[in-house]
Structure formats: C-alpha cells, structure tokens
Chains A and B, each alone.
Chain A
Amino acid sequence: MLKVENLNVYYGNIHAIHDVSFEVKEGEIVSLIGANGAGKTTTMHTVSGLLRSRTGSVTFMGKNISHTEAHKIVNMGIAQVPEGRHVFLQMTVEENLQMGAYTTPKTLKEDLEKVYALFPRLLERRKQVAGTLSGGEQQMLAMGRAMMSRPKLILLDEPSMGLAPILVDQVFSIIKELHAAGITVLLVEQNAGKALAISDRAYVLETGRIVLAGTGAELAASPEIKKAYLGG
C-alpha cells in the first residue's frame, strides 16, 4: 500500500533521513521505533507531503506521491495524527472534526456520529473550544479528526506521548479498533513495548537510518531492542 524507497530528507544542510526504505502492506499495523531525534517525525511528514525528500520516492497505492501537495495526499487516503496533536485550539471540538472532513463533506454527518460513538467524551464537549480540553481529550480529538477523512492509511506520530497510563491503554485500544475497522496503520511510538505488541512488523530508526526490521514479535524478543528501547 505504502512504499518508501531510498528516501533522503534534509533540513537545509542537515541530512536528517538517510536512504530510508520501508513498506506498509494493506491491513497491517507497522511501527517505526527509535530514540528522540532519530527521524521518525521527519519520515511521517515526508509521507504526508509536509516535507519534500531530496531523493527517493514515496509510493501510495501504486502512485508516486513524492511531489504531490499535502492537501491532495489527504484526498488520496492518507491521514496523519501529528506529534503533539495539533488540534485547532481556538476552534470547537465539532469544528475540528468538520475540518477533518474537509475532503469528505458528503459523509460528514455519518462520520461525526461514528466518531462521537467511539469517543463519547467528544460528544459531551462538542461545543467546547479545543484549547479547554485535557491532553487526553485532545489526543482523542486528533484521532477522531483524522478518521473523518475516511483514510485508507493512518499515520500516528507518538499518540500516547505525555498521557497518563490509563489513557495510554485507551489510545492503544483505539488503534486496534481503527485497524479492525479496516484502516492500515503506520505507528510511531516511544512506548516501544506496547507498539511492538500490536504491530505486524516494525522498523528501527537510528540517526536517520533503518538499522533493524522484523515482525513485532521478533523485534520484541531481540536482545538489542530490549536493551535499547524496552528498558532491560
């Protein structure tokens, strides 16, 4: 479904992503794990079209989207829940969800109901400005907003960051629900243990390079991974 080949991304002269290649097949949950600054967000942004690669390509459903504008990529079926949530703080919960449906206005009503069914908290607060929500609620809103565009592939960048343990579990169960509903998932997580446990496959990024790849179970069992990312 998504194929990234020999991607090189720069910030000015800083070479942030080196020859990164990976693949996400339809129906999979794939994780990218790696320390802070490894290049996970940069990779996600390049897939979404917010950043441009200098060389290499991103192919989605057979189409090269390396030069496609970000707003058109959303239309093709890739949604991203960005790191730090980036909900529209001065807009209401419902307006945020409406923005999520920007490319799919025809199914707005139906999808609002679906999102509210999945996140009853958001229904309670639909008229509230997003800036007044708690961190966990903002994360739910960011995920709900991404679902509104009916994505085929969803990119989740550190969805559990900064959340209390109980909310982290909730985020992971929602990821499983999204996946069960037929959405393919590319997940970036600092919580490597939990990410690997739900992943079909995973890649490990280190300073802009992919250094390891395997199934979720393989990586979770690997001594190097245990030492570097799973605390023991």
Chain B
Amino acid sequence: MTLLIQTLIQGISLGSIYALIALGYTMVYGIAKMLNFAHGDIIMVGAYTIYSTIALAHFPGWLGVLSAVVFCGVLGVVIEFLAYKPLRGAPSLNVLITAIGVSYLLQNIALLIFEGKQKAMPLGDFDFPDLKVGNTGITVTGEVIFTITLTVVLMIALTLFINKTKMGKAMRAVSEDKDAARLMGINVNRTISVTFAIGSILAAFASLCYGMSYAYIKPTTGSMPGIKAFTAAVFGGIGSIPGAMLGGFVIGILEKLSSAYISTQFTDAIVFGVLIVMLVVRPTGLLGKKIREKV
C-alpha cells in the first residue's frame, strides 16, 4: 500500500512535467495545426539557460529560472517566425520535416556550446525539505511537492488566461476557425506568436522541474520527455488543453506504475503500447472532440 501511494505520487509529479510540455504541443497544434517536434528541445534549452545563469554566471537560482522563462519564450517566437511562418499554407509534411530539422539544430547548437558531457543542474536554491506523512512510512520529496504545486498553479493560470482574457478567447477562436477569426479582426499571426511564447514558457518551467528530478542534463535531454509529452498530448486528444493536462498525468502515472510493478525495461513499451491501443479505440484521444456544424 505504501509503495502504491508513493508510486502514484511520483507518477503525478512526473506527469506534471509531461503535462507542462504537452500543453505546448497541444496549443500549437490547436492554433497552427502543426506538430512542433522541436518543442521537446526547448526543455533542454531551458535547462542549459538555468545552468549557464546559475553555474557559469553565478546568479541566484530564481534569476536562473527567470532567464530560462524569458529566453525560451523569445526563442519559441523566433523559431516560429523564422522556420514555420514562411511555411504557412505549405503541406504539413514540409512543416513536420522543418520542425525535426529545428530540433536537430537546437541539439547541435547545444553540443557546440556545452559539449556532449553531461552537466549537473545547479539547483541548490530549490532544495526543499521532504514531507513525512505521519507514521505511514510515506515520504513526499521536496521536489515532488514543488513540481506538483508549480504545475497546478500554472495550469490554473493558463485556464484563466484562455477562458477569461481577450487574447485567450481569440486563441480559442483561431484554433476553431481561422478564417472566421480573421473576419472578427483577430490578427492570426500574432495569436500564433503568443501561443508559441506560452508553450515555450511552460517548457521552461518544465525544465526546472525536470532538472530537479534528474539532476543532469545533456544536449539530448529534451528528446525523451518531449516524446512522452507528445504521447500525452495525443492520448488526451491533441488540440485539447484539459486533454494535455489529463494525458500528462495518465502517462506519468502509467510510467511509474509499470516500472514499480512490472519492469523498468518495459516501461516505454508499455506507455507507447497504451497510446496505440488508445488511438485504435478512440482516435481523437480522451478529450478530443469534434462538434459538427448544424445546417
């Protein structure tokens, strides 16, 4: 019982990281109708930004996070502007290949600057105390508490932004019907930029949480969480924001459960297997939906 509860908590924590990344995939897909395969590498960029600010420039931890947030946000917008915007209206395969190219580009730039050897994340400022739950034998680590709390706060903020603000509503309008949105006077290009900025900022926070749990980074650090988060986005229903949140938690919990109870070697196979089953049974994902227009 203790093991189960511990595993579930760890799963929620890992799932939080996936959910933060999955939100970027799903929002970009919803609005620009593209799979931004370079999104996972933004986590790696965020992690190196934190590393550089804290370990190389000797700034305090909070400034490291702030610079990652700003740098990733700007980078997301710049990538969209330089790599994807010129392809607006091009076949989706062209855009997909470009995104894969951007992914390799980011990884190789990191390799050039930081070399392949892994670096320790200097997150001493984020060393929070563990929580022992009574005498149940359950311990929740400080980084787990921090990760889950931060994720919940960011999700609430995002939900409020999407549902209550003018820009958030415009983003929903664009994701539903681009031409109709243009007829409302909405600048579609600007909403796409804002979407990339938000997705990348969430990824920067994910890189902090990832760094707290895994401690080391290298240029390919973003790939695996990126793919898992993409799986989560598809599982939840790509384009759906609550879907990405739910999908992230489901994949995180599934991963931790299967490594605790089945085998760590089969974890990835199980996660992707569940995705495939999901796509066969319900191709739109858990919360993906299509409402038909009435005539």
Contacts and interface: CB of A to CB of B under 8 A. Distances in A.
A214 interface: no
The 9 residue pairs across chains A and B that have the minimum distance between CB atoms: A74-B185, A103-B185, A70-B182, A86-B180, A131-B291, A102-B185, A99-B184, A102-B184, A89-B291
A82 B291 contact: no
A90 B293 CA distance: 10
Contacts of A162: 295
Interface in B143-200: 166, 169-170, 172-173, 176-177, 179-188
B293 A149 contact: no
A33 B158 CA distance: 47
Interface in A99-150: 99-100, 102-103, 105, 131, 133-135, 138, 145-146, 149
B170 A84 contact: no
Interface string A65-98: 0000111101100011010111111110001001
B186 A91 contact: no
B117 interface: no
A105 B294 contact: no
A74 B166 contact: no
A42 interface: no
Interface in A139-182: 145-146, 149, 162
B173 A99 contact: yes
Contacts of A91: 169, 172-173, 176
B293 A89 contact: yes
A88 B173 contact: yes
A75 B186 CA distance: 10
Interface residues of B, number: 21
A61 interface: no
16 contacts: A50-B183, A70-B183, A71-B186, A74-B182, A82-B180, A88-B172, A88-B177, A89-B176, A90-B172, A95-B169, A98-B169, A99-B170, A102-B170, A105-B166, A131-B293, A145-B184
A8 interface: no
Contacts of A146: 183
A99 B187 CA distance: 12
B240 to A, nearest CB: 10
Contacts of B183: 48, 50, 70, 74, 79-80, 82, 86, 146
A145 B172 CA distance: 16
- Count class of interface residues, chain A: 35 or more
Contact of A102 (B179, B186, B295): B186
Contacts of B187: 69, 71
A133 B294 CA distance: 8
B176 to A, nearest CB: 5
Contacts of B184: 71, 74, 99-100, 102-103, 145, 149
Given A98-B169, A131-B291, A135-B295, A71 B188 contact: yes
Contacts of B179: 50, 82, 86
B159 to A, nearest CB: 15
Nearest to A101: B184
Contact of B180 (A88, A98, A133, A135): A88
Nearest to A98: B169
Nearest to A104: B185
A48 B181 CA distance: 12
Scoring B179, B183, B187 by chain A CB atoms within 10 A of each residue's CB, the highest score goes to B183
A151 to B, nearest CB: 10
A145 B182 CA distance: 13
A162 to B, nearest CB: 5
A91 B185 CA distance: 17
A98 B177 CA distance: 15
Nearest to A105: B166
Nearest to A163: B295
A79 B180 CA distance: 11
Nearest to B175: A90
Nearest to B172: A91
Given A99-B169, A135-B294, A138-B294, A88 B182 contact: no
